[in-house]
Amino acid sequence: MAAGNHSNVTEFVLLGFTDLQELLFVMFLLTYIIVLVGNLGMIVLIRTNSQFHMPMYFFLSHLSFLDVCCSSSIVPKLLSGLLAERNVISFNGCITQFFFFAVLGTTEAILLAVMAYDRYVAICKPLHYLVAMSHEVCVQLVVGSYAAGSLNALVHTCSLLQLSFCGPNLVNHFYCEMPPLLLLSCSDTRLSKMVMAVCVGFIITTCVLAIVVSYACILLSIWSIPSTEGRHKAFSTCTSHLVAVALFYGSAAFLYFHPFPANAEDQGKTASIFYSLVTPMLNPFIYSLRNKEVRRTLRRAMDKFLSCLYSHRSCSDQTKAGATWSQQN
Strand partners, 11: 90
pLDDT value, residue 219:
85
For 1, what's the count of Cα atoms within 13 Å in the CB-facing half-sphere?
Answer: 15
- 310 in any annotated domain: no
Query: How many helices (H) and strands (E) in the chain?
Result: 12, 3
Angle at 39 between CA 213 and CA 270, to 5 degrees: 75
103 CA to centre of own chain: 11
- 220 in any annotated domain: yes
Range of the domain at 134: 11-258+274-291
What CATH number does the domain containing 94 carry? 1.20.1070.10
- 307 in any annotated domain: no
- 321 in any annotated domain: no
- 66 in any annotated domain: yes
Helix (H) or strand (E) holding 12: strand 11-14
How many angstroms separate the Cα of 286 from the Cα of each of 68, 75, 237, 314?
16, 22, 12, 36
Domain count, the chain: 1
169 CA to centre of own chain: 28
pLDDT value, residue 271:
76
Q: For helices 21-48 and 279-289, give the axis angle rounded to 10 degrees.
A: 40
- 132 in any annotated domain: yes
Helix (H) or strand (E) holding 88: strand 88-90
- 269 in any annotated domain: no
| pLDDT per residue rounded down to tens, the chain (329 residues) | 444 455 677 889 888 887 788 888 999 999 999 999 999 988 988 888 877 788 888 999 999 999 999 999 999 999 988 888 788 899 999 999 999 999 999 999 999 999 999 989 988 888 888 888 999 999 999 999 999 999 999 999 999 998 888 878 888 888 888 888 888 888 888 888 888 889 888 998 899 999 999 988 888 888 777 777 666 766 776 777 888 888 888 777 766 665 555 445 566 677 788 878 888 898 888 877 666 666 666 666 666 656 666 666 655 555 554 545 455 55
- 87 in any annotated domain: yes
